[in-house]
Amino acid sequence: MKLNIFQIDAFTDKLFGGNPAAVIPLERWLDDSLMQRIALENNLSETVFFVPASQPDIDFEIRWFTPELEINLCGHATLASAYVLFHFSTFSKEEIHFSSNSGILKVKREGDLICMDFPSWKPEKLHGYPFEIPAMLGNVEIVGVYKHRDVLVELVNEESVKNCVPDLKLMKKHIDKMIITAAGHPRSDEASDRIDFVSRFFAPGAGVDEDPVTGSAHSQLIPFWSERLGKTEMHALQLSKRGGEIWCEQRGDRVIMKGKAAFYMKGEIELDIA
């Protein structure tokens, strides 16, 4: 069996930036254990698989795997999948409807941006600092701790997020995934250069120490900062070494994430199975 594989850098317009995802289009689902082994072999934060859907009004079913496990939502690999479908397939619609373990995800093109419609997961405040969080983050100044799917920790400023050196071994003992975030600031005098919030994302429990750019985290960050800042449209940066840029919108019980993508490679996997 031969499979096509693409590697796409998501949430960036520059090669070697953003978050790389391996994209593998399928005609039918492979065995779960085989997809997990392929994801481990790829050794990227996410390998995404999709198959043509059989139900009406749905184009594809989509699933995402880290090197260690399957997860229920991934933004950058969904953006990468849409990029592959728009540029390297015969798919001709303007909007893709994916069926996933997090419901229906709609993705369309807006100029050079890919626009994704995802669920809004507002995190709720936790009282106190559970799970040794201050020790995990090097005793940085914490404003508050929240949780929806993942633990979200608000820090006092952007520099604290950028310079944080977490204890990933301690984190893995208590928490699978953690977001740290703070309000952003203008990069220049131009209003268009305003960064509303910044973040970083750690997932040692899923086999990813630090994810470069994380769409699913922004399903939680967007409602959090929309309420905090009193605005629905925002511009965000993820402050990993590779860096990533996301244009965000809170829209009722959904969030809109827009980003760019860069093509890295296309290859072929040859599997010795029927």
CB neighbours (10 Å) of residue 158? 19
- Tell me the residue type at 174: H
Residue 186, Cβ density class (10 Å: 0-12 exposed, 13-18 middle, ≥19 buried)? exposed
Q: Which of 27, 41, 46, 249 is catalytic?
A: 46
70 noted as active-site residue: no
Alpha-carbon 47 to chain mean position: 12
Can you tell me the distance from the alpha carbon of 43 to that of 203, in angstroms, rounded to the nearest whole number? 14
Would you tell me the crossing angle of helices 75-88 and 215-229 to the nearest 10 degrees? 120
**Collapsed DSSP state (helix, strand, coil) of residue 218:** helix
Sequence-ordered alpha helix ranges (H) in the chain = 32-42, 75-88, 133-136, 158-163, 168-174, 215-229
Chain-centroid distance of CA 1 in Å reads 30
b/e 249-273 (16+ beta carbons within 10 angstroms → b) = bbeeebbbbbbbbbeeeeeeeeeee
Residues marked as catalytic: 46
